[in-house]
Amino acid sequence: MFEVEEWVGGLWHRAVTRYADDRYAEAAVTLTQMRKEVGVLYRALGGERAVRIDTAAERPVTLPRTLWQRVAGSHRRLALPYLNEEVLALPGEVALFPAPELNREVYRMLAATAALSPSVAGGLDWAQAACHRYVALCAAYPAMRSRYDALIKAYLPLRIPLQRLPSELQDRETRLRNALQHLEFAAMQASDMDGLQPPPFWLYPAQGEGTGPVRREAPAHETPPEDKPPAAAETDAGKKAQGEYVEDHDGDKGLLVFRLENLFSWSEYLKLDRTADDSPDEDAARIAEDLDHLSLSTQEFGGGQRIKLNLDLPSASEDDTPLGPGLYLPEWDYRCRRLLPDHCLLQPLLDHRAPPCAPPPQLRRAVKAVRARFEQMRPMRFWRRNQAEGEEIEMERWNEFCADRIAGGAFEQPMFKSFSGRLRDLDCLLLADLSMSTDAYVDNDRRVIDVISDALLLFSEALDAVGDRFALYGFSSCKRQHVRFHVIKNFAEPYTNAVRGRIVALRPGFYTRIGAAIRQSTTILRDQKASRRLLLILTDGKPNDLDLYEGRYGLEDTRQAVLEARRAGLIPFCITVDKEAGDYLPYLFGDKGYVLVNSIQRLPRELPKLYATLMESK
C-alpha cells in the first residue's frame, strides 16, 4: 500500500511541477557558460577588476502566482542579481526566453549596466537606479538601445497579463511596463515594486543592503520573554536567515534525531552557550547572513561549559622563538584609498627546536638529480692570458721580458692575466604560505605542508648547486596584530643541515594575510646588492584572515603590496596550486606574473624547473 501511495505521489508531484514551471529548460543558459564573456564585458566597459563574478543565492520574494504555482509551492524564491564592492552576483541559470540567445542577452545586459560608474545611480532608490542605469548605458553606447528594445519586446509578453493580476497591482504593473519601454520618462520607485515580478535584467540590493523585493514572513515562534536576548528584527529585516528560540536540548546526548516522513537524519550537537559568549565576532553579521535558519537556546549554561571556537596560539614553550619585539607595517585600505600606517604587527620567528638533518631518504635520489642538473648551469670562470692589463702578472712572460731587457732587445708585450667569465647577478627570496589549509591531506599519509617542505628542499638544493644567493621565509597570520613571519634561511646564512632541519620541521599555521608578508620580504630583498632580485611567492589559496582581510579587501591589499615590490625594482612572481587562481591572480600579479601547478604532488619537481626558466628569462 505504501509503495502505491508513493508512486501516485511521485506522479502528482511531477505533473504539478511541470504545469507550474514557466521556464524554457531546453533554451537555458548557465552562468558557467557565460562567466568568461560576462567577465570580459564587465571589465572592458570599466567595471572594477577586483569585483568577482559569482552566483546569486535565492531569496524569498512575493510574486503573483498562478493556481498551479500555488499548488506546487514554487516561485517563492528567486536568485536576484546584485552588485556591491566585492561581487557581481548573477543568477546561476537564465531560462526565461525560448531562444537561448535572448537568455544570453540577459547576462550581457546585467554585465553592461553593472560596469557603469556608481555615480550614475547616486542618490536614487534601487528601482529608479535600475532604470537610470539603462538610460546611461544607451547614452554612452547608442548601439545598446536597439538591443535593449529587442529584449523588452520579447520580455513583456511573458509577464502575467494585467487582467489576471489583483486590482491593487494592475496600476503599478502598467507603470512598470511603461517604465521598461520608455526609460527616459520612468517614474518607478522601490515601493511601487512590492508584489510585482522583478525584471530579470535589473540590479537589486544585496541581502541586508536596503529594501528590495524580499518577502518578510512573520516568525513562527512566540515573542520571546524579556529575559531572553533581544532580537534584531528591525536592523536585519532583509537577512535571509530566520530565527527562533528553542528549549535546551538534552546535553547528555551527542546526537539529534530528526524524522522527516520515514527518513532519519543524524547530526552532531555541541552544547554551546551563545547567549553568554563574551568574545565578539567581528564577522558575525556576514556569517549570520549566510544561514537559512538560526536557533538560539533559551537556557544559560555555567561558565565552565563555555567554549571559544577560535584558533589558539601555541604557548611560548611550544612556539618558535620571536626575533625582536615585532615590526609594525602599513596595510592598504581600498575603501579610503590609502595606506593605514602601523596597521599590522609582523613577528619574525625562528624554529629553535628543529634538529639539523640531511635530506630525507625518499628525496635523496631527487636531490642528487637536481644538484647534477643545476651544477651544469653554474657560471664557469677562467683566466684570460696575454692581456694588456689584469689582476695578476704572468710570471713566464715577465721572466722573458727581463731576460730580453738584459740582452738589450726588450720590447713591451702583454704580460697580464685576468679572471673572466659570465656571472649571474641574481638574488632570490622565496616566501611560502604556511596557512592552516596546508594541513589538508593530498593522499593517505601526506599533507600539503609535507609536499611544500619537499619542494623547498629541492628548490634549496638547486640554488645551492647553481651558486645563487637565496633566502627562505614562511608566513601565516591570526588577525592583523599577529602576522607570523618564519625565518627559514636568510641571505647571510649558508645552506647547511640546520636549514634543512627547519624546512623538514615546517608546520601549518593559521590564516593568509599575505600583504604584510610581501612588504617585509620586499624590505629584505631591496637591501640586497644584486642587479636582479626575484621574489617568489608560493601559495595554495587567496588572501584571508579572521578580521576584514577577506574578499576584495585582502585582494586589494595584496595587489598594492605587489605594486610596491615592483616599484622597488623587484620581480614578484607567484606559484600557486589553487585551481581557482585564474579568477584573481591576473589582477594581483598580471597575466604573466604567476603560474598554476595543476597537482600539488608535482610541486617538488616543478619548482626547480620554474626557477630555471625564470632566471633565464627575467
DSSP classification of residue 579 = T
> What proportion of the chain, given as a percentage, has pLDDT over 90?
41
Q: What is the mean pLDDT of the chain?
A: 80
| 269 Cβ neighbours under 8 A, 6+ residues apart | 249, 253, 254, 255, 256
Check whether residue 160 and residue 270 sit in a common domain.
Answer: no
> Does residue 209 belong to any structural domain of this protein?
no
Q: Which of 193, 225, 250 is the last residue of a domain?
A: 193
In terms of average pLDDT, the best of 224-238, 294-308, 531-545 is 531-545
User: Residue 295 — very low, low, confident or very high, per pLDDT cuts 50/70/90?
Assistant: low
In terms of average pLDDT, the best of 205-209, 302-306, 518-522 is 518-522
- Mean pLDDT, rounded, for 178-202: 83
Between 569 and 188, name the one with better pLDDT: 569
Least confident of 77-86, 112-121, 185-194, 436-445: 185-194
| Helix axes 143-155 and 126-140, enclosed angle (nearest 10) | 140
Q: Which of 193, 215, 232 is the last residue of a domain?
A: 193
- Mean pLDDT, rounded, for 529-558: 91
Length of the chain: 618
Q: Is a pLDDT exceeding 70 seen at residue 287?
A: no
Q: Provide the CA 600 distance to its chain's centre, in angstroms.
A: 18
For residue 594, give the amino acid letter.
Y
> Does residue 217 belong to any structural domain of this protein?
no
Q: Is a pLDDT exceeding 90 seen at residue 614?
A: no
Q: Are 593 and 573 in contact (CB under 8 A)?
A: yes
Between 596 and 214, name the one with better pLDDT: 596
Distance (Å, whole) CA 161 – CA 8: 34
Check whether residue 333 and residue 396 sit in a common domain.
Answer: no
Between 322 and 3, name the one with better pLDDT: 322
User: Residue 213 — very low, low, confident or very high, per pLDDT cuts 50/70/90?
Assistant: low
Check whether residue 402 and residue 434 sit in a common domain.
Answer: no
User: Residue 234 — very low, low, confident or very high, per pLDDT cuts 50/70/90?
Assistant: very low
- Mean pLDDT, rounded, for 70-84: 78
Burial of 261 (0-12, 13-18, 19+ CB in 10 A): exposed
Q: Is a pLDDT exceeding 90 seen at residue 375?
A: no
Neighbours of 568 (CB within 10 A): 15
- Mean pLDDT, rounded, for 539-549: 90
Look at residue 62 and give its three-state secondary structure.
Answer: coil
DSSP classification of residue 583 = G
Check whether residue 41 and residue 159 sit in a common domain.
Answer: yes
User: H or E stretch including 264?
Assistant: strand 263-268
Least confident of 375-384, 433-442, 601-610: 375-384
Check whether residue 504 and residue 519 sit in a common domain.
Answer: yes
> Does residue 474 belong to any structural domain of this protein?
yes
> Does residue 218 belong to any structural domain of this protein?
no
For β-strands 571-576 and 532-539, DSSP reports them as parallel
> Does residue 211 belong to any structural domain of this protein?
no
Between 606 and 211, name the one with better pLDDT: 606
Q: Are 417 and 397 in contact (CB under 8 A)?
A: no
E strands, 373-498, in order:
381-387, 392-393, 416-421, 426-433, 469-477, 483-489
Between 258 and 490, name the one with better pLDDT: 490
Check whether residue 429 and residue 537 sit in a common domain.
Answer: yes
H helices present in 115-203, as ranges: 126-140, 143-155, 167-181
Range of the domain at 393: 384-419
- Residue 256: the pLDDT is 43
Q: Which of 103, 86, 101, 104 is nearest to 47 (CA)?
A: 86
The C-alpha angle with vertex 197 and arms to 194 and 203, in degrees rounded to 5, equals 85
Q: Which residue has the cell 554612452?
A: 140
Least confident of 214-228, 303-317, 464-478: 214-228
Check whether residue 408 and residue 455 sit in a common domain.
Answer: no
- Residue 321: the pLDDT is 92
Q: What is the 3-state secondary structure (H, E, C) of 167-192?
A: HHHHHHHHHHHHHHHCHHHCCCCHHH
* CA end-to-end distance (rounded Å), the chain: 76
Q: Is a pLDDT exceeding 50 seen at residue 59?
A: yes
Distance (Å, whole) CA 506 – CA 475: 11
Q: Which residue has the cell 638533518?
A: 357
**What does residue 398 show for φ and ψ, rounded to 5 degrees?**
-65, -45
- Ramachandran assignment for 532, one of left (phi > 0), alpha (psi -120 to 50 degrees), beta (any other): beta
Contacts 24+ apart (CB under 8 A), 444-449: 447/508, 448/540, 448/577, 448/600, 449/506, 449/507, 449/508
Check whether residue 259 and residue 353 sit in a common domain.
Answer: no
Distance (Å, whole) CA 597 – CA 246: 49
Check whether residue 177 and residue 133 sit in a common domain.
Answer: yes
Q: Is a pLDDT exceeding 50 seen at residue 275?
A: no
Least confident of 239-248, 323-332, 454-463: 239-248
> Does residue 223 belong to any structural domain of this protein?
no
Q: Is a pLDDT exceeding 80 seen at residue 308?
A: no
Q: Is a pLDDT exceeding 90 seen at residue 507?
A: yes
Radius of gyration of the chain (CA): 33
Q: 409-423 pLDDT, tens per residue?
A: 767 777 777 766 555
At 171, list the grid cell.
Answer: 496600476
DSSP lists the bridge partners of residue 533 as: 427
- Residue 519: the pLDDT is 97
Q: Which of 613, 440, 453 is nearest to 534 (CA)?
A: 613
Q: 580-590 pLDDT, tens per residue?
A: 888 889 999 99
Q: Which of 59, 58, 72 is nearest to 20 (CA)?
A: 72
Q: Are 508 and 541 in contact (CB under 8 A)?
A: no
Between 167 and 494, name the one with better pLDDT: 494
Q: Are 72 and 17 in contact (CB under 8 A)?
A: yes
- Residue 396: the pLDDT is 78
- Using CA atoms of 481, 486, 491, 494 in order, give the dihedral in degrees to the nearest 10: 160
> Does residue 226 belong to any structural domain of this protein?
no
Q: 35-46 pLDDT, tens per residue?
A: 999 999 999 998
Number of domains in the chain: 4
Check whether residue 294 and residue 371 sit in a common domain.
Answer: no
> What proportion of the chain, given as a percentage, has pLDDT over 70?
76
User: Residue 98 — very low, low, confident or very high, per pLDDT cuts 50/70/90?
Assistant: very high
At 108, list the grid cell.
Answer: 550581457
Least confident of 72-81, 294-303, 508-517: 294-303
> Does residue 593 belong to any structural domain of this protein?
yes
For β-strands 338-350 and 327-333, DSSP reports them as antiparallel
Tell me how far CA of residue 558 lies from CA of 179, 548, 576, in angstroms: 43, 13, 15
Q: Is a pLDDT exceeding 90 seen at residue 601?
A: no
At 72, list the grid cell.
Answer: 506546487
- Residue 102: the pLDDT is 94
Between 496 and 272, name the one with better pLDDT: 496
Q: 430-471 pLDDT, tens per residue?
A: 999 999 999 888 877 789 999 999 999 999 999 999 888 999
Q: What is the CATH number of the domain that holds 578?
A: 3.40.50.410
Tell me how far CA of residue 462 lies from CA of 111, 173, 200, in angstroms: 47, 71, 57
Q: Which of 260, 278, 305 is the last residue of a domain?
A: 305
Between 616 and 510, name the one with better pLDDT: 510
Distance (Å, whole) CA 49 – CA 40: 10
Check whether residue 450 and residue 552 sit in a common domain.
Answer: yes
Distance (Å, whole) CA 338 – CA 214: 36
- Mean pLDDT, rounded, for 165-191: 84
H helices present in 467-593, as ranges: 497-504, 514-526, 552-567, 585-589
| 378 Cβ neighbours under 8 A, 6+ residues apart | 465, 466, 467
Q: Could you write out the DSSP letters of every residue in 2-29?
A: HHHHHHHHHHHHHHHHHHH----GGG-E
- Residue 66: the pLDDT is 66
Check whether residue 412 and residue 434 sit in a common domain.
Answer: no
